[in-house]
């Protein structure tokens, strides 16, 4: 049984600005790069070949696209987080999220996204309570640089024993399953 996720790892030229905040407020800093989660952690015995075939089928007709992120939001449903908001490319990411949760991965859709409420984001802070979250927002203050990247591939990740990210596969957009 493996715990896996499916992500986009955007390559922002100014990602060091994100990492400065994550280093202070995200306990997964150092375990995983800034990412947009398409399929949240799920435990399964799905063989990697079956998962690859499924995702290749979904991405084979998808084209690359640009994504931009800007602005931080405090979010207090399902925990206490700071999210870097996705602006451009948001609709494409939402479509991918729901396409990936059909077929083989349908049973692994997170309860909080089944009603169509998936919101693409990059988590930059995780907190034990609302006070810590609000204090971090005050500490960060105005933060509005724009982060731009081309999305060309998605990553199948296994989460290791120490929460580390282990990339199992990288699947390009428009690639056939050969």
CATH number at residue 22: 3.90.1140.10
Report pLDDT for 100. Answer: 96
Closest CA to 165 of 74, 48, 35: 35
- Going by the DSSP 8-state scheme, the letter that residue 15 receives in this structure is H
Domain for residue 162, yes or no?
yes
Report pLDDT for 176. Answer: 45
Strands 153-159 and 65-75: unpaired
Q: Are 33 and 149 in contact (CB under 8 A)?
A: no
Q: Quote the domain boundaries for residue 167.
A: 2-172
Domain for residue 178, yes or no?
no
The Cα–Cα gap between 24 and 58 comes to 37
Domain for residue 177, yes or no?
no
pTM of this prediction?
Answer: 0.94
Categorize the per-residue pLDDT at 116 as very low, low, confident or very high, splitting at 50, 70 and 90. confident
Domain for residue 92, yes or no?
yes
Closest CA to 90 of 10, 13, 171: 10
Domain for residue 67, yes or no?
yes
Q: Are 33 and 9 in contact (CB under 8 A)?
A: yes
Domain for residue 13, yes or no?
yes
- Using the predicted structure, report yes or no on whether residue 77 has a pLDDT greater than 70: yes
Domain for residue 159, yes or no?
yes
- Using the predicted structure, report yes or no on whether residue 178 has a pLDDT greater than 50: no
Mean pLDDT of the chain: 94
Q: Are 162 and 50 in contact (CB under 8 A)?
A: no
Domain for residue 122, yes or no?
yes
Domain count, the chain: 1
């Amino acid at each position: 049984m493996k715990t896996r996720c499916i992500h986009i790892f955007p390559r922002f030229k100014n990602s060091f600005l994100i990492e400065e905040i994550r280093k202070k407020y995200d306990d997964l800093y150092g375990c995983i790069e800034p990412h947009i989660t398409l399929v949240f952690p799920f435990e399964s015995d799905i063989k990697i070949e079956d998962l690859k075939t499924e995702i290749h089928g979904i991405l084979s007709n998808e084209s690359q696209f640009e994504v931009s992120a800007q602005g931080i939001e405090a979010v207090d449903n399902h925990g206490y987080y700071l999210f870097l908001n996705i602006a451009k490319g948001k609709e494409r990411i939402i479509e991918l999220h729901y396409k990936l949760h059909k077929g083989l991965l349908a049973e692994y859709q997170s309860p909080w996204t089944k009603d169509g409420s998936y919101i693409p984001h990059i988590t930059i802070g995780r907190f034990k309570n609302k006070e810590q979250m609000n204090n971090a927002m005050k500490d960060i203050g105005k933060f509005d640089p724009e982060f731009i990247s081309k999305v060309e591939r998605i990553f199948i990740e296994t989460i290791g024993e120490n929460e580390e990210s282990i990339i199992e596969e990288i699947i390009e957009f428009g690639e056939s399953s050969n």
